[in-house]
Structures are given as C-alpha cells and as structure tokens.
C-alpha cells in the first residue's frame, strides 16, 4: 500500500482539467503588444503595419495555440529584409527560417501607385534617380529609383523571443489559479 495515492490522484485529476486558454491568451497578447512596440521605431512609418498586428486562438481537444500575425503583404519584406542589403543585414530574424534574397539590385518606378515608391520615401533612403525619356507619338517620361533592397527590421520574431520567460510565467500563473 502506498500512502497518499488518493491525494496524488486528485491532483492528477485536477491537472488533466486545467484550462490553458486564459494563459495562452495573455501570452499571445504580450507578443502582440511587443510586436506593435517594435514597429514604433520605423522611420517614415504611417502606423499601418503596427495597426495590422492581430492575435487569434485556436483550440482543439489536445491543444491551444496562440497566433500573432499581420495581414500586410509587405510585412515579410520588413521582417526579413530584401536584396543584397537584407542578406548582409538580417540580425534578429528567426534562425528557423531560410530566407532567399535576390542578388541583384533593381529599379522601382517613382509615383503614388501600388507598385511605385513615392518621392519622399525614395529621397529619405537616398535612392539614386533616373528619368527615362521616350520620344515618339506621345511624349513619355518616367522616373525610376535604384535600390539594393533594405536591411531586415524584425518586429514579430523578437516580440516572441524576447518575452519567452514572461509568457511561460503568465501561463504558469493561470494554471496555479486553477489548482
């Protein structure tokens, strides 16, 4: 006969019924706050990326997963960098992601359209300018900006990595409340 088995079984029963959702929710909210704060240092930022950082929880019978994400298509370019500059300066990105960088510089049309760069931003980053003139039936002129990409400016991965201990503490705190 083992003394205390009934007591131990009660504790195991309580542990099997622990709800992790509240702790995971607090942890992923901390990641969201940190990711948004990491966006504050971006020069020429409109705040669009910062305001697009969301969270969600997915749960099944076996687990609860907290997800922090953004729906901005350009977010990976900010997080990982682009081109030769991104490859040369990518400190702080996740070591678990293999990023392939283009090896050649490129030209970006200047303007206010979807695939263009505005003059203010191009001037801020000291992008050389080239104006192309095409004479013919209609006179045509278009300005392009030269770039070798941008360095990585990670905001998501550091938001998780820098807060791992606090996330574990928050989850543990919620578990203790239930026991």
Q: Do 112 and 137 fall within a single domain?
A: yes
Q: Do 101 and 111 fall within a single domain?
A: no
Cα–Cα separations (whole angstroms), residue 81 to 128, 150, 169, 177 = 19, 5, 32, 42
CA distance 107 to 162: 36
Q: Do 172 and 93 fall within a single domain?
A: yes
Q: What is the pLDDT of residue 178?
A: 81
> Contact, 126 vs 117, CB < 8 A?
no
Q: Do 75 and 11 fall within a single domain?
A: yes
Number of folded domains that form the chain: 2
- From first to last of its 179 residues, what are the pLDDT tens digits of the chain? 577 777 767 776 666 657 888 999 999 999 999 999 999 877 767 889 999 999 999 988 888 999 999 999 999 999 999 999 999 999 999 999 999 999 999 999 999 988 899 999 899 888 999 988 776 656 678 899 999 999 999 999 999 999 999 999 999 999 888 87
Q: What is the pLDDT of residue 102?
A: 93
Q: What is the pLDDT of residue 12?
A: 64
Q: What is the pLDDT of residue 33?
A: 98
CA distance 66 to 31: 10
Q: Do 86 and 167 fall within a single domain?
A: yes
Q: Do 70 and 152 fall within a single domain?
A: yes
Q: Do 91 and 17 fall within a single domain?
A: yes
How many other CB atoms sit within 10 Å of the CB of residue 119?
15
Q: What is the pLDDT of residue 14?
A: 65
Q: What is the pLDDT of residue 17?
A: 57
> Contact, 59 vs 85, CB < 8 A?
no
Structural domain of 65: 5-105+148-178
Q: Do 136 and 164 fall within a single domain?
A: no
Q: Do 55 and 132 fall within a single domain?
A: no
Q: Do 62 and 28 fall within a single domain?
A: yes
Q: Do 85 and 110 fall within a single domain?
A: no
Q: What is the pLDDT of residue 177?
A: 87
């Amino acid at each position: 006969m083992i003394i205390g088995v009934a007591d131990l079984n009660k504790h195991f029963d309580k542990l099997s019924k622990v709800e992790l959702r509240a702790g995971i929710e607090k942890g992923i909210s901390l990641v969201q706050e940190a990711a948004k704060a990491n966006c504050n240092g971006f020069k020429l930022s409109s705040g669009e990326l910062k305001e697009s950082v969301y969270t969600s929880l997915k749960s099944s019978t076996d687990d609860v997963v907290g997800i922090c994400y953004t729906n901005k298509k350009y977010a990976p370019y900010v997080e990982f960098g682009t081109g030769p500059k991104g490859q040369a300066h990518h400190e702080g990105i996740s070591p678990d992601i293999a990023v392939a960088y283009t090896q050649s510089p490129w030209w970006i049309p200047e303007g206010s359209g979807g695939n263009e760069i505005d003059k203010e931003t191009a001037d801020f980053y000291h992008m050389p300018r080239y104006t192309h003139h095409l004479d013919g039936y209609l006179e045509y002129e278009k300005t392009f900006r030269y770039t070798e990409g941008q360095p990585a400016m990670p905001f998501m991965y550091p938001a998780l990595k820098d807060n791992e201990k606090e996330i574990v503490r928050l989850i543990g705190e919620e578990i203790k409340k239930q026991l």
